[in-house]
Structures are given as C-alpha cells and as structure tokens.
Amino acid sequence: MSRKEALSQFINQIHGRPVAVKLNNGVDYRGVLACLDGYMNIALDQTEEYVNGQLKNKYGDAFIRGNNVLYISTQKRRV
C-alpha cells in the first residue's frame, strides 16, 4: 500500500469519530471530525479548546485552517 493510499484509508476511518488536533502554537482542539480536505483544513463538531491541558472554551462547530495544524490523532469515544 502506498503512503497516499494509507493516508486516504486513515482519513476514511476517522471521519465521524473523536479526534484531537494539535496546532503549531500548542493549542489542542478535540471534537468529532466532520470534514478534512487535501489542504488539511478541518471541520469539527462538538469542539473543545484546550490550552496547556486546561479546557478554555467549547464550540458547537469549528473550522481549523490546515497550515496551522501540527497533527491529528484519534481519541476514545466520549461518554
């Protein structure tokens, strides 16, 4: 499997699931992945913003511009 195919498969697997998005400035956003495009632009539902590990804000929907994203990781489902 090529790297491009593996990335595409990963994106398909995490769509609609809880993810954590770390930004270049150190801020974390956690929410349900609604959309991800080829530029790493991300739309999240049920979004929470964490600064230094502390919950700062809750948003219904959030859009994160791809050039700010350091990484995306999956999370366990929320209770």
Map out the domains of the chain with their CATH numbers: 7-74 (2.30.30.100)
What is residue 49's predicted lDDT score, i.e. its pLDDT?
97
pLDDT digits (tens, 9 = 90+) for 20-68: 999 999 999 999 999 988 888 999 999 999 999 999 999 999 999 999 9
Predicted confidence (pLDDT) at residue 78 exceeds the cutoff of 60 = no
Q: Which helix (H) or strand (E) holds 45?
A: strand 42-51
DSSP 8-state code for residue 31? E
One-letter amino acid of 64: I
pLDDT of residue 37: 86
Measured between alpha carbons, how far is 13 from 26 in angstroms, rounded to an integer?
25
Residue 79 above 60 pLDDT?
no
In sequence order, the 6+-apart residues with CB closer than 8 A to the CB of 24 are: 68, 69, 70
Q: Which helix (H) or strand (E) holds 53?
A: none
Helix residue ranges per DSSP H, 1-79? 3-14
Check residues 15 and 23 and name the one with the higher pLDDT. 23
